[in-house]
Amino acid sequence: MGTKETPGAGNSAAVAEYFKASMGTVYADSVPWCAAFVGAMLAQAGYKPSGSLMARSYLTWGSTLAGPRRGAVVVFKRGAAPAGHVAFVDDWDGKTVKCIGGNQSDAVTLASFARASVLGFRWPTEVAA
């Protein structure tokens, strides 16, 4: 929590590590990095990430959950496809899902999103390495 993009021309070393851990390549922190954060955290926990910087790539990762579960990957609509957002479920109620995610206000934060914007909840099918 608290990792932030570097303003201006600089790049955050932590965000660069998210890209490297999830994609094997480092990008500038101006590149949308929510999927890089999710991928890096999955890799750190011993799971294979989706291998893509597209948030919606996580709609085919793991298995489908019928509803939220703490720690699940959640994919949200954001604008027109293929745009989206991906994060980890922390808490929820009937109207919102509270998530830990990267690139939420240019940082790793806890933020709430409308349940109406959820495209899917996912859970790993593999055993962590």
The 10s digit of each residue's pLDDT in 57-92 is 999 999 999 999 999 999 999 988 888 999 999 999
pLDDT score of 122 more than 90: yes
Query: How far is residue 57's CA from residue 38's CA, in Å, rounded to a whole number?
Result: 11
Give the domains, in start order, of the chain with CATH numbers.
13-123 (3.90.1720.10)
pTM: 0.94
Q: Are strands 73-77 and 63-65 parallel, antiparallel or unpaired?
A: unpaired
pLDDT score of 102 more than 90: yes
If DSSP codes are grouped into helix, strand and coil, which group holds residue 7? coil
- The predicted model gives 22-47 an average pLDDT of 93
